[in-house]
Amino acid sequence: MPTPTMRVEDIIGLVPDDLLDRLSSIHKVDYSVKKLHGKIIFKLLLYAFLTSRTISLRIVAAIYNSDKFKTLFTIPKKTIKHSGLGFRFSTIDYRYFENIFSSLVNSEKIDTVFFADKRIAIRKIDSTIVTLSSKLLKVGLDDNPGKKTLKFGVEINQGIPVNIILFKGQTY
């Protein structure tokens, strides 16, 4: 059975707008702000983290200016430059995001959605290549004269390395 997936907008939709509005008024993140309200900044950052491999001000600005993002979150068709976005990031109170995180961690709604019937096991696979002198290693790839190369694959399950594989041939 395939693993159930959630769309980005569904994940962002799990965060209640009233929570974002309430915390933005507590931390006064929308004081004298015309375009980039705290709620939009949060959704923009979360959207960028979930959809982009790398994050930069230009990438986040491009996401904000995209028709898809504006349509998904009913944002006016105004554009923003990366410099304006950078200024907004530098002035917003970090405690706003900290309190959003704390509220979500303690929320029964989030717990019910993600952990209702079974726990979600997060697994990561990481690989790295180690090159050492061929005087130290008898096995490995002969990529460079006088050196041997080994490739390690590490499976990490909930922060703990559970499986380490050594690849010593070219086919890997």
pLDDT band at residue 1 under the 50/70/90 scheme:
very low
Strands (E), the chain: 123-133, 147-157, 160-167
pLDDT of residue 147: 83
Q: What is the mean pLDDT of residues 163-172?
A: 72
Q: How many residues does the chain have?
A: 172
2 SS3 class: coil
The mean-pLDDT minimum among 42-51, 82-91, 161-170 falls in 161-170
19-60 pLDDT tens trace: 999 998 899 988 877 778 888 899 999 999 888 888 899 999
Please choose, from the candidates 37, 12, 35, 33, the residue with its C-alpha nearest in 3D space to the C-alpha of residue 24: 37
User: Could you tell me how far CA 93 lies from the centroid of its own chain?
Assistant: 20
Tokens coding 28: 């006064």
Residue ranges of domains in the chain? 8-115, 123-167
Query: Which pLDDT score is estimated for 118?
Result: 53
Amino acid 100 reads I
Buried-state track 124-146, b at ≥16 Cβ within 10 A, e below 16: eeeeeeeeeeeeebeebbeeeee
Residues 139 and 148 sit within 8 Å (Cβ to Cβ): yes
**Mean pLDDT (whole number) for 56-71:** 90
Three-state SS for 69-105 is HHHHCCCCCCCCCHHHHHHHHHHCCHHHHHHHHHHHH
What is the per-residue pLDDT across 106-161, written as a single tens digit (0 to 9) for each? Answer: 777 665 655 555 555 556 777 777 777 777 777 777 777 778 787 888 887 766 77
